[in-house]
Amino acid sequence: MNISNIISIVTPFITGTLGFLFGARIFKFQRRFNFIERQLNELYSPMLGIIKDIKTKSSIRTRISNIANEIWKEEVREWQKSGGTVEKPDIEPYLKIIDYDNKQLKEELIPQYQNILKLLITNYSLADEETTEWQFIFSEYIEIWNRALTESIPRVVIEKLEQSESKHDEFYDHIEKKVKELKGKLKPKPLWKRITLIVLKRGR
């Protein structure tokens, strides 16, 4: 058997084997791509949307509260300086701000925290390990506020438990970075780059 005959017999086998291996690698690569897509669409992007809503409302609340507090203090100082000759400041409008904030916490913010917790629970298999560690923290945070809003826990206990929104800042930053990371992985690449990545990963 001459060399040309050997080549004609071996070539289809080699080509078929390489095609199978390359096809299997592409399939694995596509599965990984689909998983990342699910992570982004079913877990991290929805959570980031909720987080941005919470942060927006919290920022507005803080600004209004700070300004109202300064104005109230100034009105009281002016009234005290006058010796009572000017009209006494009306506290009712300021109390309405507090009432609104309490209502918003109960009807909007706590449900949003519950939505984050629900996403973490129902999409647990899509979450990174660092993300899953926050499930307990959110569950605890929500449970304490549920007790507080139903007045089934003393205020002094709540203060000791430090139910501050700032304790979630690290989590918010983590989710925002995760969304950027996943979007970067899904960003379309030139065909030659995709093939190179597949070949390089195959060698690992």
Q: Is residue 201 part of a domain?
A: no
pLDDT digits (tens, 9 = 90+) for 139-162: 888 888 888 888 888 888 888 887
**pTM for this prediction:** 0.74
Say how many domains are in the chain.
1
Q: Is residue 105 part of a domain?
A: yes
pLDDT of residue 190: 52
Q: Is residue 204 part of a domain?
A: no
pLDDT of residue 87: 85
Q: Is residue 2 part of a domain?
A: no
CA distances from 83 to 78, 88, 108, 113, 162 (A): 9, 10, 43, 48, 40
Domain span at 44: 31-185
Q: Is residue 159 part of a domain?
A: yes
Q: Is residue 127 part of a domain?
A: yes
Nearest to 120 by CA among 100, 134, 108: 134
Q: What is the pLDDT along the chain (204 residues), one digit of tens a residue?
A: 555 555 555 455 555 554 544 455 565 667 888 899 999 999 999 999 999 999 999 999 999 999 999 999 999 998 888 887 778 889 999 999 999 998 999 899 999 999 999 999 999 999 999 899 888 888 888 888 888 888 888 888 888 887 788 888 899 999 999 999 999 988 865 544 555 554 545 544
Q: Is residue 39 part of a domain?
A: yes
Q: Is residue 22 part of a domain?
A: no
